[in-house]
Structures are given as structure tokens and as C-alpha cells.
Chain A
């Protein structure tokens, strides 16, 4: 193998400065004099903008400056000599500050000579503050002081106010200051005085902010592209530079020919416009320079700035090979740490396998299979890193050739490591490491238990898959990112992966009522991937509790509470009492999963969790589970009770309205009578709705599938059920009852100022009975409102999150428990105030009793 050589250099400091005309000339390889690009043969013109001394973009030509070929030569700068000095748009505000701070007559900064020394030392002290603001803050205060001075302390000259007409025209009083005059003023400032503005005279003399020479970027950063038609299309920057050179030549000619000053000045302004738009084509006061098609040119600032710019697009965000993206679908038969990969993607994504004496035999099998047969290979990599594609023609020869030292890019196999990710990647669990499982079909498959950390559902969501290519990357992914390592959320210290949906319903049914024959119980266990039946009691009838107990270790003890507040006891690995529902099995709730993890480790827990999940689903598969209209049936007595509650609410609200009109309504402090009435009625109606809900909860069939889902916490709550069986309730818009629409009424079939519940969006019917037309309309109103709300809120909260993440991104906990930022400035003296790692505690609290118990 080729010995790699590394060069180590430590970056001590970076200095940002401006290019002086001298430096521009020094680094320039050519002076550009003509706007023409190519001659008749299509060869770049000497002294043109595509001159091959500025680098090459044609594979056939060698660079004239350094003699290297394409890709070896990074390009060389050229320069233009500007006929007249030109303002640099990016320095316009700084130039204004300096002009205002120096005397218009003697060009000295307007501070008293005696104070000068103190000021400079104070500015230098600013550097000692660790943040970069130290020096900037001081100079800003100083400049603000000098700007407002009206009389020069040195020569007593009265100061005419200097104004700027954006973007680049300066006035002293009424008189326009030409860039030439400004430049001569700036030149006169002494090196010592320049420091007052926070500039380092060695690297940034103020007169360099006014251009006399313009550096031309190398051709390699503005390559021309040849269209299919053979036509050449130039880069936006080249277009802009062409304009600059052309106008500059015209300006030269006019000056030399002694043209009238007006013409020269017009051309000068035009040149100023072109140079300004060359740097920034989005200056508010200027019309953007456009293509002939009308779309604005992308010049230097646009290349760097914003989301599509170089920084966020190319430097902070990168594209990658060995990745896949498709629709996801659920597969509970996968283990939680697995990901199902379609066969066709498994044959495109590859892992490089280094050939050794020990594996050469079976790696050769991959090569023999080639790219088209499944456990095959797509490429071989020679020791000199040359890649060779495996095809039917080359296969035989490559098989002969390979030997230890070669690598083979083989297809994905079961058990390979992959990173799985869903955007938006809001927390670290949004990108986890899974084991590959190659499956038929065309979607990526995942166990529904990991939907929660990814926030995924299957209504068309797509996810990304990445295959680490080096041993280091694989080790890192496995150790830091595997699903097992992410079980406990650092946010609240509980497992974010748990049972959901059907698994909860199933386990609820199982632990509350079901019984099986010994034979069926064994069958269930086998189907969920348990083949040790020794824990199953040796009797004919096995209860659900006994069945689920087979999944816990023999020495597992746990006491907790279920959702309804009853006790759940697991003793010696047996579920003795209680129902297992969302409070214990669910994601982000209960300590059962946490205890399992703590006692038996993540690897064991994730297998148990998979089994629990599949057990729940298996129960539903065998028993059958579906909701129906009958779930909402209530006994006659309950129906009457509900209509009684609603009628009473009507009466009570009428009573309030009557009191309101009479003026006898007791007004709440800080509220008007109208507001009080609204509040009272809303309160009343919500109470009525809740009461109907309570009636439903008490009287509905407790064993109906709908009720099972509600009680187990799988889906829905009692309000959803009440809306179907009893009463939909008050529709609210922006915190109050509906009042929008016509003049003093909601809809045209109510009387004006009708304040009764019916006229203000109270839906007294239920979904089973059906809604009245007006009620339906109110429902549609709130429905649309919430739809709009989510659509508008998502981008807003996304941006908010981006700002927060950028502000906090490099905070870290140090060894002395302090939280510090990138400048080593302290943010917190003890992480979180108490130094507790939430993921290693129980919901942010350390349970001392439990620790003492465990040591006894």
C-alpha cells in the first residue's frame, strides 16, 4: 500500500484584512484589457476575461501560469486597472463612519490629542475580554462620540455634516464628494489614528476600501458551460466582469480624448453601478443587473449568502453516496433495532470488504455472483484505490486478479450497519443506527415501536438510510447511535421506545381478562419469537397474566401503578396483580421499561420489548379487534340523563343571559359584563359536555373495543367517545365562543344578538345522531381554523428552533460540571443547577431510597 504522509500544522491565528492595490498587483497574473472572451477559433483571447493565464477549465489546455492541467490548477487572479477610483459597496457604512469622525480640513480624528493615548490603551484592553465584542464595542462608542463633534479640536474648523445618498454617493453639505477626494482624505490618516476605528493599519488601510485596482477572480470559479447545441454559456460573474471591463475601457478612452466632464462622470457612475452589482446584486437602492431573459444575475454576495449560498448549502450541508430514501411502512415482526431494506436497494448500496486470506473464498463468491445476482458485488478496489466495475465481461478476469489487499464492494447483507434518519432531525434520536434486514418489497420497513423517536407515521413518510463505509464509522455508529443506546431519552429520563397502538390494546386485553389453553399459549409464545416454554405453568388453562410473565426474567421485581390508579405488581418475574397498559408499557411513561433497562441492560430489554410488542399484536390477531357503531350505544337511562344535562345547561345559560340583560349579572373583576357572560356560559357548557362524557364513561359497554383502546391508552380518549355517543360540545374560535359572521350574529338564521348556546356554536347533537346544518357549519369553522393554525405554525416554530439550536449548539458540560460556550465563558455553574444527568436519573430526580434498597 502507498504510505500516506500527513503534514501537521497548527493554526495559531487568522488575520482578516483587505487587499491593497499592491497586493492585488502582486497576486495578479494578468491585466485584463478587453471585454472580448474568445477569438474566431473559439480560443481564449489574450488579455480577455477567459485568458488561460487565469486558470483552465478545458481539459485539453494547460494553465499558462503554473503549467498544471485542469483540476490540478486552482486558478490565478487577474486584475483591472480602473480608470477612476470606485467605492466598494461593502465598506460604504465604514467609510461614512470614518469620514464623519475625521476633520474635514485636517483629516485628524476629532478627539483631543491628550486623550488619544488613553483611548488606544482602552481599545487594546478590549481584546482581553474573551468575546469578540470587546474591541468592537469600544470603537463603536468612540466613533459615535466623534461623529457628533461639530468643531475640530485640532484646527478649530467647523464641520459640515457628511451625508450618504445610498448606496455609494457621499455629500459634504451640498457638495458631492467624489471617490478621489474621499480617497485622498483617507490616505492622510496616520497609521496610529487608524487604530481608533478598530482597523489594523498593516492589513487594512482605509484608502484600500476605495478601489483603484479590481481583482478578477480566476476562471475556475466562473467556468463557462457548453450547451448541448454547442453554444457557450458564460457564468454570471463573467458577464458582470465583461460589463465592468467594457465601461472601464470607454471611460479610459473618454478621459484620454478629453471628453466633457458630464460624459466622464456619467460613465464613472455607470462603472460604479457595475462594480457594486458585481459585489452584491441585491442592494436595495439599485435595480438588480439582469440576464437578457430578465432573471437577476447571481454575483459574489448571492453566491455566499443564505440557504442556497456556499456556506449553508455546500459547507454546512453535504451530499452523500451510499444512501437511500423511500417511503416507510411498518413491520412489527422486525426486531426494534432492525430496518427492512428492499432487495433492489440492497443490491445498489454496498459495503467495502477488505480481502484477507481468511475471507477470500467467500468474497470470491460475491464477485462470482456479480452485480445482478443477490449476495453479489458491484466493484472491486485495487490496492492503488482504482475502482473496477464488475460486469459479465470483466468478471472472469477480476476473479483471477483479486488477492489479499484488494477490497470488494459487496451487496448489503442481513446484520450490516446502517444509519436511519427522518427529517426534521430535531433530537439525537432522529438518527439512529439499525441492523439491515434485506426484505422483498419496495419500502423501508421499521418496527412501529420506533415511530415515536423518529416522529414517523405511515401516511407517506419517507426516510433516509446511510451505509457507513469505514470500520471507524461503523464502530462509531454502533457504539454511539444504535437504537439500544438511545432507549432512554435525555429529555425526561424515561424510555421513549415502548408499546403503542395495537400492542397496547392487545396487552391490555391479555392482562385483564384472557385465558388460553396450554397448547395455544405455547403457540402464541412461539409466534412472537420465544421458544423457551419452561416458564409457562404446567396446567390446562393459562391466564393472560401467566402468559406475559414468560417474557420477564425470573428475578424481576416491580411495583407501579396502571392508568386507572390500581397497583401493578410483578414479583419474581410473575405478573401477580394489575393490568399492563400505557402507563407501564407505553413510550415516555412509567418506570417498568426503565427498571428493565437498569437491571438487564439495553440489549436484553430491546428484545423483551419486541416480544411484548408482538405479543400484544398476536393477541389481537387471534381474538380479532374492530370498532363498530354498537360501541357508542348507551342504555335508555343514560340517554335520558344526557338530555337532562343538556337541557339543564340550556336553562342555566338562558338564566345568565336574562341576568345580563337585566344588569344583575355579577361582573368579574377586570372584565366587562359581556366578557363575564361569555366566560360564564363557556364554563357552563364545557362542564355540561364533561358531564355527558362522564355519563358515557360510566354507562358505555366497558368491554367494547373502543373502550379498550381508551382505557389501555392505545388511541382516543373518553371525550372522543362522548362526542360520538353523547354531545360534541362547544366549538371555540380563538379562545371564545363563535361570534364571527354577520352583523351581531353568527349565521343568517339566527336573530341578531342571540346569545343562546345554539346560536354561538354549541353542538348539542352527537356524531351518531348527526349534526344540524348550523352545527355542521360551526364544526367546519373550527376545523378550518385549526387546519390553518397548524399550517402557519409549523414553519414559524421551525425557524424558532433553528435559531435556538444555533445559539446553543456548542454549549458543553465540562469536567468541573460547568456549562460553557465555545469561548469558554460560563453559562451555568452546575449543569441544570444540580448537576444531574436526566438520562441517568428517574425523571430528573435521584431516587435515594431505591439506591439504598438495592445495596442492601
Chain B
């Protein structure tokens, strides 16, 4: 079997790492801390190429039939 790159798949939205400053902005905006975020595993196939560690925040840009583009955030566990 050839190795499949899941990030190239049509159904996998773009995942990217949030910088320190962006992280702080997000936390301040919603008055939350890291533990309030939805989680994603560091081993998740969609983000393994980013080489993230626990405590990082991932930004997901999703396409939605109703909302057009939307942003979502997950904390790496």
C-alpha cells in the first residue's frame, strides 16, 4: 500500500499551530485557560506533521455548507 498523506485529503481541513501571542489573544478573548479547550491528540494523523507537543494550540480552518469558513481551536494533549 502506498503511504497516504491525510493532510492532502479533501475532507481534512487545514490544521496549523497557534503562536504564543495568538494563543494568549484567544485565551483572553474567551477568558479561558488551556484546559477549557476541546482536545486533540499529538498523535492525531492530521497534525503529526506539525510535530506538536502537549500545551500547543491548533487552529483548524473548516469549510461549512452553512457558515462558509469557520475557525476552531483545539488544545494538544
Contacts and interface: CB of A to CB of B under 8 A. Distances in A.
Contact of A833 (B29, B31, B36, B62): B62
Contacts of A129: 35
Interface in B38-77: 38, 62, 64, 66-68, 70-73
A833 B30 contact: no
A12 B62 CA distance: 41
A832 B66 contact: yes
B12 interface: no
Given A834-B66, A844-B66, A829 B32 contact: no
A130 B30 contact: no
Contacts of A844: 66
B71 A824 contact: no
Interface in A797-856: 816, 818, 824-830, 832-834, 836, 844
Contacts of A818: 30
Nearest to A828: B72
A228 interface: no
Interface of B: 29-32, 35-38, 62, 64, 66-68, 70-73
B70 A834 contact: yes
A202 interface: no
Contact of B67 (A130, A824, A833): A833
A812 to B, nearest CB: 14
B71 A832 contact: no
A835 to B, nearest CB: 8
Given A129-B35, A833-B67, 17 more contacts: A130-B36, A816-B29, A816-B30, A824-B36, A825-B38, A826-B36, A826-B37, A826-B38, A827-B38, A829-B30, A829-B71, A829-B72, A833-B64, A833-B66, A834-B67, A834-B70, A836-B67
B30 A826 contact: yes
Contacts of B73: 829
A401 interface: no
A830 B70 CA distance: 8
Contact of B36 (A816, A825, A834): A825
B68 A834 contact: yes
16 contacts: A130-B36, A816-B31, A825-B36, A826-B30, A826-B32, A827-B38, A828-B72, A830-B70, A830-B71, A832-B66, A833-B64, A833-B67, A833-B70, A834-B66, A834-B67, A844-B66
A396 B25 CA distance: 75
Contact of A128 (B32, B35, B71): B35
Contacts of B64: 833-834
A734 B72 CA distance: 40
Nearest to A818: B30
A818 B37 CA distance: 11
A130 B72 contact: no
A816 B64 CA distance: 21
Nearest to A830: B70
Contacts of B31: 816
A830 B35 CA distance: 18
